[in-house]
Amino acid sequence: MRRWLIVVAVVLTVMAGALAWWGGPIEFVLGGALVNAGYRLQDRLVSYDFNHDELTPEQVWDEFLQQNRLASSVRSLFPRSTRHPVIAMVTCMDGRLDTNEIAGDTRRYYYVIRTAGSVLAEKEEEMLELAVENGVKVVVFTTHTDCAAEKAARDPAKRTRFPQLTRAVEERGFRLQEFLGRPLIRERVQQGELLVKLMDLDTRNERAIPRDFSRP
Ligand SMILES: [Zn+2]
């Protein structure tokens, strides 16, 4: 009996020591596992409002508001911490992409701009520059596999219907260079205070494959 008590005491001491020494990383991974447990519970639930298979826009809106009421009441009870973002991400609006999953992080260290096809215009460049002025150290431009905006830009019928989107997809490389050429961005990059990165995302699992600037 006494031997067991010693073993338990040693194990508890080792665990307490590990948590004190590596507590942050352990809590981070454990938190990620619990978030994933939540995804597993919700992912298989197909019906949006649990009452209708086919929903009217009003039913979707009502359910959306109800879900927000529940979520915001939980947030009122358990407020989250505010973090200062260190990364700004440009990501496609594709519903399969989840920026928390891309970052592997639910904390609020990220500014996110989402547009179809990750397209940019001058106003988005200004948004990113503002983010850099506010302390962002890395700007990441992402594209992803099976992108509907890229497909539309390659489809003759859709090119006619969505001419502005088509042009925006085609000028992504130009916009990127334009962003890199902005005086503040160029200066921060040259001084080693800012990194600008590109990456392709595998839409199936959101794995990021960094790439260079030779392909827009
Ligand atoms: Zn897309």
Mean per-residue pLDDT of the chain = 93
Predicted confidence (pLDDT) at residue 95 exceeds the cutoff of 80: yes
pTM of the model: 0.86
User: CA-CA distance, 143 to 168, in Å (whole number)?
Assistant: 13
Annotate 102-158 with DSSP letters as a single string: HHT--SS-EEEEEEGGG---HHHHHHHHHHHHTT--EEEEEEETT-HHHHHHH-HHH
CA of 167 to the centre of ligand 1 (A): 15
User: CA-CA distance, 202 to 16, in Å (whole number)?
Assistant: 39
Whether 98 and 207 have beta carbons less than 8 Å apart is answered as no
Predicted confidence (pLDDT) at residue 9 exceeds the cutoff of 80: no
pLDDT band at 216 (very low <50, low <70, confident <90, very high): low
Confidence (pLDDT) at 16: 67
Q: What is the pLDDT of residues 98-111, one digit of tens each?
A: 999 999 999 999 99
The listed CATH number (3.40.109.10, 3.50.50.60, 3.40.1050.10, 3.90.1150.10) that belongs to domain 87-211: 3.40.1050.10
Portions of the chain given CATH number 3.40.1050.10? 87-211
Confidence (pLDDT) at 41: 96
Angle between helices 172-180 and 183-190 (to 10 degrees): 70
pLDDT band at 59 (very low <50, low <70, confident <90, very high): very high
- The better pLDDT of the pair 9, 31 is held by 31
User: CA-CA distance, 151 to 154, in Å (whole number)?
Assistant: 5
CA of 89 to the centre of ligand 1 (A): 14
CA of 90 to the centre of ligand 1 (A): 11
Confidence (pLDDT) at 81: 94
Confidence (pLDDT) at 23: 81
CA of 73 to the centre of ligand 1 (A): 33
Confidence (pLDDT) at 2: 75
Length of the chain in terms of residues written: 216
